[in-house]
Copies of this chain bind each other. A is one copy, B any other.
């Protein structure tokens, strides 16, 4: 049958392509939302710096966010998986706040 895909395999092949196109669109939407979150977090960092709060790391605030996310998680990802993703987002956000602080110090 090589060279002559069955209708079944053709249907599946197209289906995977369609599903991957949907994943690509979700990736773009995730990137847009993540970037918006980055802008808001940068504003929070700026406000904290202006208030003389140099320590941007706030484990209680992170924990509160993780608890809310865990309570709302509809699946199919496990809570552990969703938390790991959000911890990576928090890490990127903290790096952003701290690098903005350094820039302000240099001005």
Contact = CB atoms under 8 A, between A and B. Distances in A.
Classify the interface of chain A: helix, strand, loop or mixed.
Answer: helix
A9 interface: yes
Contacts of A86: 27, 30
Contact of A26 (B19, B37, B92): B37
A63 interface: no
Given A28-B72, A30-B30, A77 B35 contact: yes
Interface residues of A, number: 53
A68 to B, nearest CB: 7
A16 B47 contact: yes
A76 B47 contact: no
Contact of A72 (B31, B33, B42): B31
A59 interface: no
Given A12-B50, A38-B75, A96-B81, A33 B44 contact: no
